[in-house]
Amino acid sequence: MRLALYQPDIAQNTGTILRLCACFGIPVDVIGPAGFDMSDRALKRAAFDYLIHVRITRHTGFDSFMAARATGSNSSPGRLVLLTTKAPTSHYDFSFAPDDTLMLGRESAGVPDSVHDRVDARITIPMRPGLRSLNVAVAAAIVLGEALRQTNGYPHA
């Protein structure tokens, strides 16, 4: 299981997601460009002392991310699963696999259609009608939790 952030806009959300992934041993791909300083110093401020506990791979753009997946530099690439408000399948109706990469879009704009067209699956979190979306870090936690539950991927003490 991996988590990928597509052009994140908000350092605090990225920090929260990095901390989440550190706690569960989930590697993170950050697909640039980001809307904030992505230096280790800036990320330390957002993720506190958890940054040393998460494996982060930075990509200059979506094409370099996809190329890394194709060449196997991210181990087994598995499916690329996009969390989006524009999906017919809910996260609890989806069958996750241990080698899936869960991708989250930009807080301000999600992902472009060109990225939608290249993912293997699209899932959504059911919400009350009339509301736009959840915070990206909250969405990551909800879906990652279900994916880890389904795949027995939670760390064992």
CATH of the domain at 45: 3.40.1280.10
**pLDDT value, residue 48:** 67
Which range, 14-18, 129-133, 135-139, is most confident? 135-139
Determine the Cα–Cα distance for residues 41 and 43; give it in Å rounded to an integer.
Answer: 6
- Give the DSSP H or E segment for 68: helix 62-71
Q: What is the pLDDT of residues 20-75, one digit of tens each?
A: 999 999 999 999 999 888 776 666 666 667 888 999 999 999 999 999 999 875 45
Specify if 11 maps to a domain. Answer: yes
pLDDT at 136: 96
Q: What does the pLDDT read at residue 36?
A: 86
Report residue 132's pLDDT band, with 50, 70 and 90 as the boundaries: confident
Q: Is the pLDDT of residue 87 over 70?
A: yes
Does residue 72 form part of some domain? yes
* 125 belongs to a structural domain: yes
pLDDT at 95: 98
Domain that holds residue 112: 2-150
Residue 77 domain-assigned (yes or no): yes
In a domain, 155, yes or no: no
d(CA 58, CA 135): 22
Q: Is residue 89 part of a domain?
A: yes
Tell me how many domains the chain contains. 1
